[in-house]
Structure 1
Amino acid sequence: MLEYGIVGASGFGSNHAAAVESIDGAEVVAGTARSEESIAPFADEYDATGYTDHREMFEAEELDAVSICTPSGTHAEIAVDAAEAGLHVLCEKPLDVYIDRVDEMIEAADRNGVRLGGIFQRRFTPERWTARRWVEEGRFGDLILADTTVKWYRPQSYYDDHWHGQRDLDGGALIQQAIHFVDLLDWLTGGIERVSAETETVAHEMECEDLAVVSLECKNGARGVIEATTAVRGGEDRVELNGTKGSYNSGTFVLEDEEVEPDLIEPPTGTGLEGQVRDFIEAIREDREPIVNSRDARKAVEVVLASYASAELGRPVDVDEVRELQDHT
């Protein structure tokens, strides 16, 4: 039986716990939250031991793996502690909010011989698996445009919780909301290599941006735009790819000028968060990398941080520059 712990169990960690419990041969045995009061419902639901300190849980329990579901800017410290304790780690997006912290996580996992995966469950849908295969096979022709739009709304109370919207613990709409879609765009196209960004805070009292517009260049020559905001109502989110032979737009496939219904490709371990957690657990058992491994999960963080640097410096930034420009991210 693979014994699993949840760090940050009182929030989205409960979704991770439910996914783990749905998988044969895995069980949630422990979790952490900020207080005894907040961990109690989780402990009761899963018949698990509750803690208020992740290090205490790592020392007391005979765990095989953990999910990290705490505020984004705390991920690296916890992940390094877990790796040093010999635990495999599945970390919520983003891996962390600064690239040196992300690199430290990856180095710790490598040094201790444990698996580190990053959550990007929006990849795990048949339509997106199919779109990626079509890009690889050239069925859309040469990609000309690649765009994503994340037009969401968050009330001021969302940013008054003492971590959302704060740079050291989070960031703004790009790194918290849009990063799922930045990851999709990077994954579907084969990589984003250059960005030019403008960011602004238009509707909230917060340290970081609630509006970002990023022009991008992909490694395959496609160009595109990332639009991200948490300041509008009635907006949508989508990913769109346009090529010389066809297009994909969040579920719709077009070849030449006709919409088609493709034979959809199922993700190998299932869909959504449950599918990604299942892949992570199978990766541990099979001693292989998870589908979204640490270096793969790092790519979207690099694109976002390059965008932050571009906005501050007022010039285009190559994604590969992100480490030397960390002071501007």
Structure 2
Amino acid sequence: MHTPIHFALIGCGNIATEHATQITRVGILVAVVDTNLAKAKKMGDQYGVPFFETSSALYAAVQKLDVVVIATPNGLHAEQAIEAMQAGYHVLVEKPIALTGVAIQQMQAVANQTGKQIFSVMQNRFNPPVKLIHELLQQKVLGNIDHVQINCFWHRPASYYTNSWHGTMALDGGTLFTQFSHFIDLLCWLFGKVNTAEGQFKNRNHQGLIEFEDEGHIQLEFESGIKASMDYSVNEPSVNREGSLTIFSSKGIVKAGGSYLNILEFEVDDVELASILQIQLDTINKEQFSANDYGQYKGSMRNHYQVYNSLINTLLHQTPYYTTIEEAKDTIDLINLIYQAR
């Protein structure tokens, strides 16, 4: 029987409940931290653990700790991860892992110095249609790929940005970081490095509330020659309308569709490929899925349990974690390349 892994959670905002649920499933939650002491107390009381206002107070007080989970505003991730590793702990960092490639290099340097590991959260890789598309690409059964289209049409009300770090350049960074970095990650994971990126950005419905765009159109060309387009918005009036990735290839169309890359759709000419997809379709589309629900809006699919399963397997059995710090950096570098046109 292995010794249980001990976790502390920094940040008691919307996604914290999902992290606390997974932590208590796979290990032991020993403390929570939030600069808003009322939030920290509420979560600490809920889970019967000490709560702190600062991470330094946590590190001074805690006796047994292995992993620090960082679920704070984007712009704080790098410095908090570095502080935790220097204090002697592994880190699991919510997406986006940081806002710049330089910050990620600094995190990696500290990980190397301290011998601690950085785990990132990219749970949409576990969505069944996405996993299937990845396998089909690895097996090279989709034929020549002509074009990839990503559509992200989500709902973020004014209340989401009011009196919040959301919408600020320093702590949020942009819609591609906070809402749609999962989709950029999938582009990198599925299709490799990008040669050129162009984008147009507009703030149509959130003027005075956010310091960047609420909608955009992006065009990418990968080193492989594949071209991709992405249209995204947080201006849907009431619900997340679509979050999809469609591949147009010489054998037809394969799509991870729905609101959260959760539905498999296809229209292909190749009989063998059609047969593979039909078998998978029946399995995948029967699966029950749910998104992270925050009341007035919803986030991505709830696959954090897969993230924690992978983390535990890495720490206890040295199984490779499902994603790497280099892959996380590729995603952030691509977002910043896209945003250079802003």
The two structures have a TM-score, normalised by structure 2, of: 0.83
Structure 1 contact 13–67 (Cα < 8 Å) conserved: no
Relative to structure 1, is the Cα distance of residues 193 and 57 closer, same or farther in structure 2, using a 3 angstrom cutoff?
farther
Inter-partner Cα distance in structure 2 for 1:290 and 1:81: 22
Q: Give unpaired runs (5+ residues) of structure 2.
A: 257-263, 285-301
Inter-partner Cα distance in structure 2 for 1:78 and 1:13: 16
- 1:96 paired residue number: 98
- 2:245 paired residue number: 239
Aligned pair 1:154/2:156, yes or no? yes
Aligned partner of 1:17: which letter? A
- 1:82 paired residue number: 84
Aligned partner of 1:20: which letter? I
Aligned pair 1:215/2:232, yes or no? no
Relative to structure 1, is the Cα distance of residues 109 and 242 closer, same or farther in structure 2, using a 3 angstrom cutoff?
same
Aligned pair 1:12/2:15, yes or no? yes
Identity %: 25
* CA deviation vs aligned residue, 1:211-230 (integer Å, no higher than 9, x gap): 11110012322101111211
| Residue aligned with 2:98, SS | coil
- 1:306 paired residue number: 337
- 2:265 paired residue number: 252
Inter-partner Cα distance in structure 2 for 1:118 and 1:193: 25
Single out whichever of 164-173 and 249-258 deviates more from structure 2: 249-258
Inter-partner Cα distance in structure 2 for 1:285 and 1:279: 10
Q: CA deviation at 1:125?
A: 2.1
Aligned partner of 2:213: which letter? E
Relative to structure 1, is the Cα distance of residues 59 and 293 closer, same or farther in structure 2, using a 3 angstrom cutoff?
farther
Single out whichever of 206-215 and 149-158 deviates more from structure 2: 149-158
* CA deviation vs aligned residue, 1:48-76 (integer Å, no higher than 9, x gap): 11111112212322210011100000101
Aligned pair 1:275/2:288, yes or no? no
Aligned pair 1:21/2:24, yes or no? yes
Structure 2 contact 254–268 (Cα < 8 Å) conserved: no
Inter-partner Cα distance in structure 1 for 2:60 and 2:145: 50
- 2:296 paired residue number: none
- 2:259 paired residue number: none
| Residue aligned with 1:261, SS | helix
Inter-partner Cα distance in structure 2 for 1:246 and 1:191: 24
Q: CA deviation at 1:28?
A: 0.9
Q: CA deviation at 1:289?
A: 4.0
Structure 1 contact 75–96 (Cα < 8 Å) conserved: yes
Count residues with an aligned counterpart.
305
Q: CA deviation at 1:39?
A: 1.3
Q: CA deviation at 1:257?
A: 6.3
- 1:66 paired residue number: 68
Relative to structure 1, is the Cα distance of residues 168 and 10 closer, same or farther in structure 2, using a 3 angstrom cutoff?
closer
- 2:295 paired residue number: none
Aligned pair 1:42/2:36, yes or no? no
Aligned partner of 2:15: which letter? F
* CA deviation vs aligned residue, 1:97-128 (integer Å, no higher than 9, x gap): 22222221222112211111211111112221
Q: CA deviation at 1:263?
A: 4.1
Structure 2 contact 75–173 (Cα < 8 Å) conserved: no
Q: CA deviation at 1:17?
A: 1.2
Q: Give unpaired runs (5+ residues) of structure 1.
A: 313-329
Inter-partner Cα distance in structure 1 for 2:304 and 2:113: 27
Aligned partner of 2:243: which letter? D
Q: CA deviation at 1:194?
A: 2.2
Q: CA deviation at 1:18?
A: 0.4
* Aligned mate of 1:123, from 122, 125, 133: 125
Relative to structure 1, is the Cα distance of residues 86 and 193 closer, same or farther in structure 2, using a 3 angstrom cutoff?
farther
Structure 2 contact 254–265 (Cα < 8 Å) conserved: yes
Q: CA deviation at 1:42?
A: 1.4
Structure 2 contact 215–234 (Cα < 8 Å) conserved: yes
Q: CA deviation at 1:37?
A: 1.6
Inter-partner Cα distance in structure 1 for 2:89 and 2:148: 38
Structure 1 contact 66–88 (Cα < 8 Å) conserved: yes
Inter-partner Cα distance in structure 2 for 1:20 and 1:122: 19
Inter-partner Cα distance in structure 2 for 1:141 and 1:22: 42
| Residue aligned with 2:199, SS | strand
* CA deviation vs aligned residue, 1:242-274 (integer Å, no higher than 9, x gap): 2212332111244326753244899xxxx8110
Relative to structure 1, is the Cα distance of residues 193 and 18 closer, same or farther in structure 2, using a 3 angstrom cutoff?
farther
